[in-house]
Structure 1
Amino acid sequence: MDREEDFMGKYRNISSKLKKRFLRKPNVAEASDQFGSLAKTLQNQECAPYAALCCLAKARCEHTLANSPAEAHALTEAAQLFLEAEWKDASLQCPSFEEHLTASINCYNHAVKVYIDQKQPALAATLCLQLANALKKLQKPGEAMGHYQRAAELQYQSPLDCLHSLGQVASCKIQIGDYDGALTIFTEMAYLAQERGTTTHGGRPIGAFCDILGNCEINRVLLLMLLQPTPQRIRPEHAQTLERYSWESTEETNTVVECLSEEVFLLMQSLVMACQSRDTESLTALQVDLWKHFSSEQNHLLHLVINQLSQTGLETTFH
């Protein structure tokens, strides 16, 4: 309690210097420095919420001084300190209304707005990613998704960064069970990788773009096997994707297929045919061969596909 009273006393003393007095202008710059010093002291004393409040006060001072970079920096510090307080509550399993998390989100959003107003989209995107990563770590993929999406929009001029952020959006959608939404994102990523990653029209994507395109292709096929859209409801681009893995396919070498190794392409072809014929035994055998080629997320999707086909098979048997 003494520490709280000590903080409140110092906070009020600094704030009083900002009050307008007759024939005397408040020294906003001095108050900003003092709020910053008090924030550092409180941070060293592991009083993160109080330190965050001082950073917010400093941000207001910098706004008054029209110093946007310092305002955004102070807001970011406040956001990180509120987040630290939230982590501490979560680790101690303290019941709360997540007020520290709400305050952190508000500070991050305000700082993002300041950077956007200053025509600094890359810095704004970095903050969106910081917040999204924190929310994902707090087991809130639904909330994280929107901030990853915003980061991707701000990173449009940096295609690889944009694709990475979109990949995080898709991962969040998979986590919350929105497989159709994830399929849409991976399709968008595939188009973007082809459009921005090739040096010539219709050419093969280069470097990291090729790896991303190959991963998108695998994810799209797995999601299509999981969703099992009917011929009447499947979108043309998704039907075209599955045609590439048909035994009767006469399509010439495709730029997407070129981004997969021959072994992976043949295994994927076998996977599609096994799913279409509902051959769960072959799928289980293929799972062993595909395991080393897949990411943990892709192996999770394959596990869901096999489970779904197994349950469908059981229901058919009993009916």
Structure 2
Amino acid sequence: MATDLSASFNEQYISINTKLKKRFLRKPNISEATNEFIALAIQCEHSEQPSFAGQTYIGAAKCEASAGNFLGEAEQHLAAARQFMKAEKKLASMKFDSPDRENLEAAIGCYMWALVKYPEKSPLRTSILLELADGLVDLNYKQEALAYYEEAVNTIEDKTMKLMCMRNFFNLLLECGKHDQALETANEICDSNFHIPERILTEIQVSRVLLVLLVKPDEDTKSESLKQLVDNLLNDEDTDSTPFNTDLRLKLQSIMIASGAQDQHSLISVAADSKQHLTAQQKDLLDTLILEQRIE
């Protein structure tokens, strides 16, 4: 069945290309060829053959390029990218190894080709970068996704959207164990002029407390807000920048004191009581802190 489909696809694809090459007395009908490529791509999609669909959308993109329709070219490359990404995810879901990442590399190439067709500040560039980054995360290529996430964050001007994307980027940095960069990003979020909802601010500030214990930045490299956060906690001062409930505040103070005193027994004990307040990434940070103190 797959062989029959492959043969049928090849025949139709070659037929469309042949029409384009017949120049004799007139120019080829680019619009007709584009529509035929798209129709074939849709047929491949319905037949659950995303890789074939991706190749055919690239054919449509080349037609759009030859006609000077660069936005149409970008649209078709984006359609191709999504099909190649779908093909790669399909292989991953079936537990098939893909060492050469043929479909994934094709997807990345198509996303990048579409990206350059849009103006530098276009929201569509941001959407493309985030879509690619999310696809890589789904495939567990998290380290690779970081660069696209960071580039996307740098293209965003809307403050609310930028905050949400920076938070996602921050959490991905934590998952990848990039503690230094995560702390820098958290500092940037808290030092920005964004309106940060209390729930998100609490989450970021708790992570900053744990990160500063792990990273141990020099005093002169700490941001003023980070210094203030540490001082407020140690001095038990309640401010808008430390929206912790009483129990969480006490737990964080105990973690800081135990860590500073290199009291591993106390740190392990308070960690067990604290994890009910923490996110998955924060629990990992606390476990890493305990492990590093054990090694020291």
Q: TM-score, normalised by structure 1?
A: 0.83
Give the Cα–Cα distance (whole angstroms) in 2 for the partners of residues 36 and 186 of structure 1. Answer: 45
Displacement over 6 Å in runs of 4+: none
Report the counterpart of residue 85 of structure 1 in structure 2. 87
Using the TM superposition, give the Cα deviation of residue 54 of structure 1 relative to its aligned residue in structure 2, in angstroms: 0.5
Map Cα deviations across residues 174-224 of structure 1 (whole Å, 9 max, x no partner). 3332211111111111122xx121xxxxxxx5xx3x333222211111011
Pair 1:244-2:196 in alignment: no
1:56 deviates by 0.9
Question: Equivalents in 1 of 2:145, 2:6: separation in Å?
Answer: 33
1:95, distance to aligned residue in structure 2 (A): 4.4
**Equivalent residue in structure 2 for 1:109, among 109, 112, 115:** 112
Alignment of structure 1 residues 183-198 onto 2, 5 Å:
183-192=183-192, 195-197=193-195
Match of 1:214 among 184, 202, 205: 202
Q: How does 1:1-319 map to 2 (within 5 A)?
A: 1-19=3-21, 21-90=23-92, 91-116=94-119, 120-121=122-123, 123-155=124-156, 157-192=157-192, 195-197=193-195, 205=196, 208=197, 210-229=198-217, 231=219, 234-237=221-224, 238-247=226-235, 253-257=238-242, 259-312=243-296
Q: Give the SS at the match of 2:118.
A: helix
Comparing 182-191 and 168-177, the one that deviates more: 168-177
**C-alpha distance in structure 2 between counterparts of 1:9 and 1:59, whole Å:** 19
| TM-score, structure 2 normalization | 0.89
Deviations 1:207-243 (A, max 9, x none): x3x3332222111110111123455x65353444322
- Counterpart Cα distance in 2 of 1:72 and 1:95: 27
Offset of 1:57 from its aligned partner?
1.1
CA contact (8 A) 2:77 2:113 kept: yes
Q: Give the Å deviation of 1:253.
A: 4.9
Measure how far apart 1:110 and its partner are.
Answer: 1.8
Work out whether residues 135 and 144 of structure 1, in 8 Å CA contact, stay in contact via their aligned partners in 2: yes
Distance 1:253 1:243 in 2: 11
Partner of 1:317: none
1:233-262 Cα shifts (integer Å, max 9, x gaps): 653534443222223x7xx754311x3334
**SS at the partner of 2:116?**
helix
Contact 2:229 2:241 survives alignment (8 Å): no
Task: Work out the CA distance in 1 between the residues paired with 2:43 and 2:57.
Answer: 12
Contact kept, 8 Å, 1:145 with 1:168, in 2: the verdict is: no
* 2: CA distance, partners of 1:113 / 1:189: 28
8 Å CA contact retained: 2:187, 2:223: no
Residues 54, 84 of structure 2: 8 Å contact kept: yes
8 Å Cα contact 1:59-1:74 kept in structure 2 = yes
